[in-house]
């Protein structure tokens, strides 16, 4: 098995922390509206763990697909998506049949937390994030005048 890329680990940790924060918010909302109990907590925890695991498995699939031909990548990604969705569906079905242990609504809401965290990722810079090249450096590489003054050909 290949070594897990540092970027995969860093982004998975980012998604896990963001999911944990959103889980706290979810539990706070349930507490405020007076509907909180342990099944809410357990459903939220199970959903959050499954959602982060789903993200991690997706990232591993992408990492392992790098350098392969396009048809192999497409097949691998489609199989991975099918497996991960069936796994998430299976967890939700099992939780549905154990209502004394898991509240299904927080579990399903938790499935969307990584997507929300990923959408916010572009606005948050963390230590270790690559800084984009300055506009002047990228303009110089493109052959453009970094001062922004375009020379007339006339």
Task: Give the DSSP letter of residue 148.
Answer: S
Return the structure tokens found at 27. 């539990």
Query: Which string of b and e fits 81-110 if b means at least 16 CB within 10 Å?
Result: eeebeeebeebbeebeeeeeebbbbbbebb
Backbone φ, ψ for residue 47 (5° rounding): -65, -40
Contact 12, 49 (CB under 8 A): no
The ranges assigned to domains in the chain are: 6-123
Task: Note down pLDDT in tens along the chain; length 154 residues.
Answer: 679 999 999 999 999 999 999 999 999 999 999 999 999 999 999 999 999 999 999 999 999 988 899 999 999 999 999 999 999 999 999 999 999 999 999 999 999 999 999 999 888 877 777 755 444 444 444 454 444 444 444 4
């Amino acid at each position: 098995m290949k070594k897990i890329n540092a970027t995969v680990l860093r982004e998975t940790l980012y998604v896990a922390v963001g999911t944990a924060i959103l889980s706290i918010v979810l539990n706070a909302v349930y507490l405020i509206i007076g509907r909180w109990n342990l099944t809410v907590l357990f459903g939220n925890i199970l959903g959050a763990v499954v959602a982060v695991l789903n993200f991690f498995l997706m990232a591993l699939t992408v990492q392992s697909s790098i350098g392969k031909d396009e048809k192999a990548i497409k097949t691998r990604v489609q199989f991975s998506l099918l497996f991960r969705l069936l796994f998430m569906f299976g967890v939700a079905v099992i939780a549905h049949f154990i209502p004394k242990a898991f509240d299904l609504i927080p579990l399903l809401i938790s499935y969307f937390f990584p997507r929300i965290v990923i959408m916010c990722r572009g606005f948050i810079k963390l230590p270790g994030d690559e800084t984009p090249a300055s506009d002047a450096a990228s303009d110089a590489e493109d052959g453009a005048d970094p001062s922004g003054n375009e020379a007339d050909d006339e």
